[in-house]
Amino acid sequence: MSRSVVTRFSPSPTGFLHIGGARTALFNWLYAKHTGGKMLLRIEDTDRERSTEESVHTILDGLVWLGLEWDGHAISQRNRMKRHREIAEELVTLGKAYYCYASSKELAEMREKARYEGRPPRYDGRWRDRSPVEAPTGIPPVIRIKSPRNGESVVYDKVQGEVRFPNKDLDDFIILRSDNTPTYMLAVVVDDHDMEITHIIRGDDHLTNAARQTIIYNAMGWDIPIMVHIPLIHGPDGAKLSKRHGALSIQAYRDMGYLPIALRNYLVRLGWSHGDDEIISMQKMIEWFDIVDINKGAARFDFKKLEAINSQYIRASDDEILLENAIAILPEIEIGKKIATPLNEKHCRQFRDAIPALKKRVKTLVELLEGADFIFANRPLSFDEKAIAILDEKGCQILGEVLPMLKACPNWTETELNDAIRAYSKAKKSKLGQIAQPLRAALTGRSTSLGIFDILTVLGREESLARIHDQLT
């Protein structure tokens, strides 16, 4: 019987969880769910200089927000360094690795010589076959793996196919540094083995590493997990993803007003497809996601597509979910700086009431909040230029005439307000729009917004009448 699937996401905590990392996590998570297996999380924090607690926190927070929870506890690679050293020493005992005492001066000379001869800089193996008795005293050695000298190392990759690397390019790389800390190459192999990882799904920038890691697996006689190197995400112009293209943290996407469910849907389509399906529910994603459908070519990141997917999810989402997600980002965004947060109960209720109308016209939660800013505004309102122009003598005259008709609406229902305003427009032989314009300007401070009846009912009788009245004094 074959083993059940165990995947892993193994970020280095040297920065935030970026969009590429999130997609890698998503693929690992989906494959684990698809097969009824597990996704483990390993924090690759052996680089003490560059790893930070803050980064660990940001990465975990990003995964949780995206709904990609891992199985079991997150594993810290740093806590496993004793084990890494043990394996390095075992490899020496097995004759598969050796102590190397080459000084930094010697290494610099080796590099210089290679450059002069037009070869890539490679360690020349000078300690490979020397007897340990020749070891100089007082110099802490590194441990190097004995890479095969001739032939090729082959990575059998589920996406890239059979990828061959000439062994002469791989040299005897270091697996344990002179301070006894493991290199990435050793730590990752030992941990993947001990964690019983069956599938390594990661970016194809790790493909050469896979060849080096294969050498360590073979030296230990360990089974090599199934390799799945996914093409990187590029910008819409085909160039490497830059900040301008969207190489931002997951938190930045949250603060731009994307829903986690929309971002997940967008990300799964970056490098994987299921026919022409664009909107794919979580359940379908899990059902359909398979490695064989991962594309070989680089995926292109496209903000427009992400926005289009987001707006579809916003329309389809429950109002309560939108409310919750929108309120959560308020402190992080521009409009949140202008209003009192946390929102009071009245503002929350009014915002919730406005969501059914607002969600039909926005692409992001930021736009949803901006569309609701008339709710959060305090009297006297501030007005934009167009609203000021609308509220001229003529506009104010209309307001003065409509006000008593609105005051005569005790129930403030949409039907009642509609009847009142239509009766007025009929009497005056003017179009509804001519009346709606000054009303909208007085109630929101702007010239565009939701439909006038939505505004009136969301604001409520007292606040609406007061805002109109403000224009007449």
Give the residue numbers annotated as catalytic, written as ranges.
243
Binding flag, residue 225, ligand GLU (CB under 6 A): no
CB nearer to ligand GLU: give 54 or 414: 54
Binding flag, residue 202, ligand GLU (CB under 6 A): yes
CB nearer to ligand GLU: give 18 or 363: 18
Closest distance to ligand GLU from the beta carbon of 190 (Å):
12
Among 10, 28, 317, 449, binds ligand GLU (CB under 6 A): 10
Angle between helices 53-66 and 19-35 (to 10 degrees): 50
Binding flag, residue 84, ligand GLU (CB under 6 A): no
Binding flag, residue 11, ligand GLU (CB under 6 A): yes
Q: How far apart are the first and last CA of the chain?
A: 83
Binding flag, residue 44, ligand GLU (CB under 6 A): yes
Q: What is the size of the binding site for ligand GLU (CB under 6 A)?
A: 7
Q: Which residues of 421-455 are buried (b: 16+ CB within 10 A; e: fewer)?
A: beebbeeeeeeeeebbbbbbbbbbbbbebbebbbb
Binding flag, residue 206, ligand GLU (CB under 6 A): yes
CB nearer to ligand GLU: give 217 or 453: 217
User: Can you tell me whether residue 45 is helix, strand or coil?
Assistant: coil
In the 3-class helix/strand/coil scheme, how is 345-389 assigned residue by residue? HHHHHHHHHHHHHHCCCCCCHHHHHHHCHHHHCCCCCCCCHHHHH
Closest distance to ligand GLU from the beta carbon of 11 (Å):
5
Binding flag, residue 188, ligand GLU (CB under 6 A): yes
Binding flag, residue 317, ligand GLU (CB under 6 A): no
- Span near ligand GLU by CB under 6 A; candidates 8-16, 80-88, 92-100, 319-327: 8-16
Closest distance to ligand GLU from the beta carbon of 77 (Å):
9
Q: Which two tokens stand for residue 314?
A: 């916003």
CB nearer to ligand GLU: give 110 or 226: 226
In the 3-class helix/strand/coil scheme, how is 147-179 assigned residue by residue? CCCCCEEEEEECCCEEEEEEHHHCCCCEEECCC
Binding flag, residue 198, ligand GLU (CB under 6 A): no
Q: How far is it, in rounded angstroms, from Cα 101 to Cα 119?
A: 23
314 within 8 A of 359, measured Cβ to Cβ: yes
Q: How far is it, in rounded angstroms, from Cα 267 to Cα 269?
A: 5
Pairing of strands 152-157, 161-166: antiparallel
Binding flag, residue 255, ligand GLU (CB under 6 A): no
Contact positions vs ligand GLU (CB under 6 A): 10-12, 44, 188, 202, 206
